[in-house]
């Protein structure tokens, strides 16, 4: 095993030991370092925020940048608890769930359910909850690091969900599961590979978006629900939100546009909790913002 893999494994085990509320203190320290030391996460986050919120003053962008780096730091620090101690969050009353009855009603109809989410709050907490309460498949683009790929699959599968590759075989499994009345959860704000998406709008800027969500709804007549995980303040836990079922569109372009609009409305509720450290606009004419 490489030194990097050893560090990853040891870090996950160490993070399990620390009580959740103390992770917030570590998050403050970690995000402060991210802010003062030049790094790609800070650079990409600031570039995205400046593009998406052009009317904000420099002071407000800096404030949102600091808050965003803290939220991203917490996503890392919470991984030990989310993966290795899956019952910790629920058993310690650190989670509230809103409107899950709407999901249960859609499941009962038997056409399958697609739950789509942006990378807001901690999606591992969502996976933890779905693994306990649904029969769920999650499409997954594996990371380049083989050990990290193994760890993510191992821990997420242990939570009760089933990870499948975004491939021809994986799509067949997803369609089969939906037709059997099960649940598929997708973080569909990810930027797809070239020739695997279409251009859409995101905060009035051109963005390259995946088309999987509206295609699944068209092929299976499944219900589609937005979900997201809000991180509460001061280590008080999380709130998982489930929205009512929506029909995206009969057309792929309209469906993708509506999906992104739903993401915008969701993100604006908690803008600092969205993962702005990804190159959201890398397959558009705005990609130059990451190389200034």
Question: Which among 77, 46, 61 is positioned nearest to 276, based on CA atoms?
Answer: 46
DSSP for 271-283 reads: GGGB-TTS-TTTT
pLDDT of 47 reads 97
CA 98/CA 120 separation, integer angstroms: 16
- Give me the pLDDT at residue 6, please: 57
Q: Residue 131 falls within a domain, yes or no? A: yes
Query: What are the tens digits of pLDDT across the range 181-217?
Result: 999 999 999 999 888 899 999 999 999 999 999 999 9
Q: Please write the tens of the pLDDT for every residue from 250-286.
A: 899 999 999 999 999 999 999 999 999 999 999 999 9
What confidence tens digit (pLDDT) does each residue in 136-189 have?
Answer: 999 988 777 777 777 788 888 888 899 998 888 999 999 999 999 999 999 999
Is residue 28 assigned to a domain?
Answer: no
Name the residue range of residue 194's domain. Answer: 88-291
Per-residue burial over 200-220, b if 16 or more Cβ lie within 10 Å, else e, is bebbebebbbbbbbbbbbeeb
Structure tokens at 164: 């499948």
By CB neighbour count within 10 A (0-12 exposed, 13-18 middle, 19+ buried), where does 249 fall? Answer: middle
Label residue 1 by pLDDT band (50, 70, 90): low
Mean pLDDT of the chain: 91
In a domain, 137, yes or no: yes
Sign of the torsion angle spanned by Cα atoms 215, 263, 180, 249: negative
pLDDT tier, 8 (very low <50, low <70, confident <90, very high otherwise): low
19 within a domain of the structure (yes/no): no
For the chain, what is the domain count? 1
Which position has the token pair 């372009």? Answer: 253
- pLDDT: is 182 or 19 the higher one? 182
| Sign of the torsion formed by the C-alpha atoms of 169, 184, 219 and 194 | negative
Q: Is 7 inside a domain boundary?
A: no
**How confident is the model at residue 5, as a pLDDT?**
58
Residue scoring higher pLDDT (130 or 2): 130
């Amino acid at each position: 095993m490489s030194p990097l893999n050893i560090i990853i494994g040891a870090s996950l085990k160490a993070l399990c030991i620390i009580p959740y509320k103390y992770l917030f203190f570590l998050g403050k320290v970690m995000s402060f370092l991210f802010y003062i030391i030049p790094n790609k996460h800070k650079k990409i986050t600031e570039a995205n925020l400046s593009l998406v919120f052009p009317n904000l003053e420099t002071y407000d962008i800096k404030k949102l940048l600091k808050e965003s780096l803290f939220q991203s730091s917490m996503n890392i620090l919470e991984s030990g608890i989310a993966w290795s101690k899956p019952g910790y969050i629920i058993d310690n009353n650190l989670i509230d769930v809103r409107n899950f009855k709407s999901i249960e009603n859609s499941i009962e109809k038997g056409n399958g359910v697609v739950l789509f989410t942006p990378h807001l709050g901690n999606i591992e907490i969502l996976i933890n909850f779905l693994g306990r309460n649904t029969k769920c498949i999650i499409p997954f683009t594996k990371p380049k690091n083989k050990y990290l790929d193994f760890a993510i699959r191992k821990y997420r599968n242990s939570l009760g969900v089933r990870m499948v590759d975004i491939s021809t075989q994986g799509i067949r499994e997803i369609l089969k599961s939906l037709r059997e009345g099960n649940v598929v959860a997708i973080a569909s704000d990810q930027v797809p590979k070239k020739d695997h998406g279409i251009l859409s709008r995101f905060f009035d800027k051109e963005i390259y978006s995946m088309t999987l969500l509206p295609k699944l709804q068209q092929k299976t007549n499944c219900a589609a629900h937005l979900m997201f995980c809000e991180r509460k303040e001061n280590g008080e836990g999380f709130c998982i939100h489930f929205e009512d079922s929506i029909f995206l569109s009969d057309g792929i372009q309209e469906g993708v546009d509506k999906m992104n609009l739903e993401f915008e409305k969701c993100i604006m509720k908690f803008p600092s909790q969205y993962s702005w450290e990804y190159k959201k606009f890398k397959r558009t004419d705005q990609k130059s913002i990451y190389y200034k």
